[in-house]
Amino acid sequence: MTLTQHRRLGAPVALVGAAALVLAGCSSGGGDTNTNGGGGGGSQFEGTTLEVGGVWAGAEQENFEKVLAQFENDTGAKVNYTSYGDKAATTLGTQIEGGSPPDVALISQPALLQQLATDGNLQPLSDDALAAVEDNYSQSWVELGSVEGETYGVWFKASNKSTVWYNSDIYDQAGAEVPKDWDGFLAQLQLISDAGYAGVSIGADVGWPLTDWFENVYLRTAGGEKYDQLTKHEIPWTDPSVTEALETLATLWGNEALVQEGAAQRSFPESVTEVFGADPQAGTVYEGDFVAGNITDDGNSSVGENALFYDFPAVNGSAPAVVGGGDAAIAFNADQATDALMQFLASPEAAEIWVPEGGIISPNTSVDTSLYPDDISRQIAESLTGAETFRFDMSDLTPSSFGGTEGQGFWQIMIQFLQNPSDVAGTQQALEAAAVTAYAG
């Protein structure tokens, strides 16, 4: 998967023929098999076949199939997994139109979950499955899988986009430390600058990294409720809460002594190389947990040794918060075998099969974090599950013409703001004008 595909995986996608979608029955599940939910000596659902679809392929598919194999062993059911790649919305739309959706699908788009639920294509979680979710997940994740008071999603896999990566060799040389808040962050970047490096490298030849900067600052300055309102355009981008977030960003972006020059011409992968390459020029780069993959691909630094991260800093005493993404399991029928699988996916035991293999961060708060294969994975997971507030990437929840298109909308306006961070009011007016057009469409 390319970096762009990784970044945009959560973008809302329209279903094929959405207006024609109707509730379809189980594709192959056994509707009146034996007893209720999960684990009957290995034969409870013998003779039942479940169809499961998801975005994962390659190593991720192999690891998820190990999870499904445990369910098969526990229940006697057979589970067939099909990878949709990045075409989940299109594939599901076609399957539903044809009357043969999977029993369970795993999707990355909250907007798609909401659309499927609103159209009547999904089954809400059973009482037992809902109890498992409420026991094992924070309220933010419960709400993210809910529509109009009913909960449909079990968030099995997550990503953490609130990680700031730093070259510890440069930090040690500069006498810099892990900051506790935004002011401390700026102070440490100044120490790095004084040592002859740029404090932070930013890659903004396209605007998505800048929207992630904004989202993290906004969640900390405005809080979760305002974040939700702005995401839905229930408040305008000229709101004072946006002013505060942009002014906070301007304290960094407007300080030429702290930000490596040329940001608007630099790609995101290049910004990582500027910090962790053979000849590093900067001490810090912000982005999500996938930065670890970029560092490994570059090959000049080692994640967990000189390539480390800290949580995105608090602003004005804000509580721990995470912006990120994830993959949710949703059910298309209410039979007992499907319900048992949803309950299993909501359990810590299911995630703990994949966790030691690497390549997954579980939002399940009951997962034993000692099972993660390395300290960095464990730290990322604990930052995510320990956050008091979690919000999905804002730009992935807005109309794509506003939040997901190169050269326009949120992306382009944030590039312009990076180049002229003194123009807070003009930036807000441009964002509001773009939002009005996009949400009306």
Q: Answer yes or no: do 294 and 183 share one domain.
A: yes
Average pLDDT over residues 9-13: 33
d(CA 349, CA 368): 9
Reference 209, options 410, 43, 369, 343; nearest CA is 410
d(CA 247, CA 339): 48
d(CA 423, CA 34): 65
* Per-residue pLDDT reduced to its tens digit, 23-70: 233 333 433 333 334 434 578 999 999 999 998 999 999 999 999 999
Please report, as a single letter, which amino acid is at residue 55. V
Predicted pLDDT of residue 7: 34
* Per-residue pLDDT reduced to its tens digit, 158-210: 999 999 999 999 999 999 999 999 999 999 999 999 999 999 999 999 999 99
Q: Answer yes or no: do 407 and 265 share one domain.
A: yes
Q: Answer yes or no: do 403 and 387 share one domain.
A: no
Predicted pLDDT of residue 41: 54
The boundaries of the domain holding residue 91 are 3-160+323-392
Please report, as a single letter, which amino acid is at residue 268. F
Q: Answer yes or no: do 105 and 239 share one domain.
A: no
Q: Answer yes or no: do 206 and 268 share one domain.
A: yes
In the predicted structure, residue 11 carries a pLDDT above the cut 80: no
Q: Answer yes or no: do 150 and 255 share one domain.
A: no
Count structural domains, the chain.
Answer: 2
- CATH number of domain containing 305: 3.40.190.10
Residue where a domain terminates, one of 377, 392, 407: 392
Q: Answer yes or no: do 148 and 172 share one domain.
A: no
State the pLDDT confidence band at 86, using cuts at 50, 70 and 90: confident
* Per-residue pLDDT reduced to its tens digit, 225-270: 999 999 999 999 999 999 999 999 999 999 999 999 999 999 999 9
Predicted pLDDT of residue 406: 92
Q: Are 313 and 184 in contact (CB under 8 A)?
A: yes
Which strand (E) or helix (H) includes residue 211? helix 208-222
Considering only CA atoms, give the Rg of the chain: 22
Pairing of strands 78-83, 321-331: unpaired
In the predicted structure, residue 18 carries a pLDDT above the cut 60: no
Q: Answer yes or no: do 47 and 194 share one domain.
A: no
Ramachandran sector of residue 202 (left: φ over 0; alpha: ψ -120 to 50; beta: rest)? beta
d(CA 87, CA 84): 6
In the predicted structure, residue 12 carries a pLDDT above the cut 60: no
CA distances from 180 to 188, 230, 404 (A): 10, 27, 31
Q: Which two tokens stand for residue 292?
A: 């670890």
CA distances from 258 to 254, 255, 273 (A): 9, 6, 17
Which strand (E) or helix (H) includes residue 78? strand 78-83
In the predicted structure, residue 78 carries a pLDDT above the cut 80: yes
- The proportion of the chain whose per-residue pLDDT surpasses 90, expressed as a percent, equals 86
